[in-house]
Chain A
């Protein structure tokens, strides 16, 4: 069946280090969405990517959609403690990746 694989499952960084999470689909995606869930909170929408090769930035966050529209990445530059949480991608037919949990040491 359709799957959206997300790696890594966990990432522990020192504040100021960069962080990247990857999302890979077994099928071509029409679009991909990224969400962030803070500990104890609910998922909050970050962005949607639609076009092949698309790159979007939100301050320190950079989102990419692969040329084949089967993979995507979220990169955070110079992490801060406010970046702590779990980052999810969601693709075709509302299938979600399992998320990458980010911990940041101050």
Chain B
């Protein structure tokens, strides 16, 4: 069974803090993704990576950065958290091509920025 784990289920941070969200997958998938999910807005792609050290911007990369130093791990970084980054963050991984691979999701991290 594919397993995608995220470092925290719930996180509360203060405005201006640097925030790290970690995602680990155990199936040797090439592709990893970070989404945020907000009511009424669906899933929006922040960044994705198709290989170690490779990254591509998604639809809403502003205010975020990512790091993929190892194949199994993909980190999302909020350089200076703001209240409008309060959201559910979902990590996913897939094999094959980025657009056609079945995505396996982690349980999500609900981040609150106060």
Give complex CA distance A11, B110 in Å: 26
Q: Which of A30, A50, A88 contacts B43 (CB 8 A)?
A: A88
- Interface residues in A86-105 by Cβ distance below 8 A to B read 88, 90, 92-99
A42 x B108 contact (CB < 8 A): yes
Asked whether, in the complex, the Cβ of A94 is within 8 Å of the Cβ of B102, the reply is no
**With A88-B42, A96-B43, A99-B42 in contact, do A42 and B107 touch (Cβ < 8 Å)?**
yes
A83–B104 Cα gap in the complex (Å)?
A: 20
Q: A42-B90, A43-B43, A88-B42 are in contact. Are A94 and B99 (CB under 8 A)?
A: yes
Contacts of B102 in A (CB 8 A): 33, 45, 48
Chain A contact residues, CB within 8 Å of chain B? 30-31, 33, 35, 41-45, 48, 50, 88, 90, 92-99
A48 to chain B, nearest CB (A): 7
| Alpha-carbon distance A106/B44, docked complex (angstroms) | 33
Q: Mark B70-114, 1 if CB is under 8 A from A, else 0.
A: 000000000000000000001010000011101111111000000
Q: Give the distance in Å from the alpha carbon of A90 to the alpha carbon of B92 in the complex.
A: 14
The 9 closest A-B pairs by CB, nearest first: A42-B105, A98-B42, A45-B102, A96-B43, A94-B45, A96-B42, A43-B105, A31-B100, A99-B42
Other A-B pairs beyond A41-B107, A88-B42, A94-B99, 13, CB < 8 Å: A30-B99, A31-B99, A42-B108, A43-B105, A45-B103, A88-B43, A90-B103, A93-B99, A95-B45, A95-B59, A96-B43, A97-B42, A98-B40
